[in-house]
Amino acid sequence: MSDKLVAAQVRHYPPGDLAVWILIMAELLVFALFFAAYGFTRMGHVALFNQYQATLDRTAAVANTLALITASYFVVRAVAAIREGNSRHSARWLWAGVGMGVLFLFIKGGEYAEHLSHGINLSTNTFYMFYLSLTFFHFMHVIVGVIVLVILAVKVGQGRYSAAEHADVESGASYWHMVDLVWLILFPLVYVMH
């Protein structure tokens, strides 16, 4: 590959709007604090955390992980399509991503319904306080991400973006990948590591 081509491919800023990346950084820092708080609080309650972690549905959690990483891959395909000016394909990939996001919400919602039916809430114990707070905070981000993807899918389908002008699509995609990234840490930390 020639030096000129390499130079042309190296950018100084990430894809999408810089403001969205500043928001992503802020969100990631908040989640980092949550993860650290979980880890350091667990130090004083190892037996309790291990006991109640075993009550969680790991199969639902792995299904949700697969749903989110697949949604992220679909969003990557949507960005690739719009970069080539193919709005129809891009919209189709975005709707597929929305489908995976809704699947996540459906599975996670089922888990919450199960917990509620057993009388489990934030004050049940320290483990559940962290588990419910962390996962629900992330759940809210998935809802926002799905709404963003729906808006983008509609606008892309209407032909409002092109190969030259699609920063909104890249910004929305970056936000969605952040939601995926956070879950990739949350899943092993809360459901598996003991």
Partner 1 sequence: MDSQTRAWLRPCTWTWLVMVCLTLVTWLLGVSGAQGLWVALLVLGFALLKGQLVGDWFMGLHGVSGFWRWVVSLWLLLVGSLVSIAFVISSGVLN
Q: Tokens standing for 134?
A: 């962390």
Establish if 12 lies at the interface with partner 1 (CB under 8 A): yes
CB 189 within 8 A of CB 35: yes
Q: Is 169 exposed, middle or buried (0-12, 13-18, 19+ CB in 10 A)?
A: buried
Q: How does DSSP classify residue 189?
A: I
The residue from 84, 88, 147, 151 that contacts partner 1 (CB under 8 A) is: 84
Establish if 187 lies at the interface with partner 1 (CB under 8 A): yes
- For 54-81, give one letter per residue: b (16+ CB within 10 A) or e: eebeeeebeebbebbebbbebbebbbeb
Establish if 59 lies at the interface with partner 1 (CB under 8 A): yes
Question: Residues 146 to 185: which contact partner 1 by CB under 8 A?
Answer: 174, 177-178, 180-181, 184-185
Angstrom distances, CA of residue 171 to CA of 20, 26, 40, 155: 6, 15, 34, 14
Interface segment toward partner 1; rule CB under 8 A; list 14-22, 111-119, 120-128, 142-150: 14-22
The residue from 2, 9, 117, 123 that contacts partner 1 (CB under 8 A) is: 9
161 or 191: whose CB is closer to partner 1? Answer: 191
42 or 138: whose CB is closer to partner 1? Answer: 42
Q: Is 93 exposed, middle or buried (0-12, 13-18, 19+ CB in 10 A)?
A: buried
- Residue 18-37 contact track with partner 1, rule CB under 8 A, x = bound: ---x---x--xx-xx--xx-
The residue from 20, 75, 78, 142 that contacts partner 1 (CB under 8 A) is: 75
21 or 112: whose CB is closer to partner 1? Answer: 21
d(C-alpha 191, C-alpha 187), whole Å: 6
CB 156 within 8 A of CB 94: yes
Establish if 137 lies at the interface with partner 1 (CB under 8 A): no
Residues of this chain that bind partner 1 (CB under 8 A) = 9-15, 21, 25, 28-29, 31-32, 35-36, 39-40, 42-43, 46, 58-59, 61-62, 65-66, 69-70, 72-73, 75-77, 80, 83-84, 174, 177-178, 180-181, 184-185, 187-189, 191-194
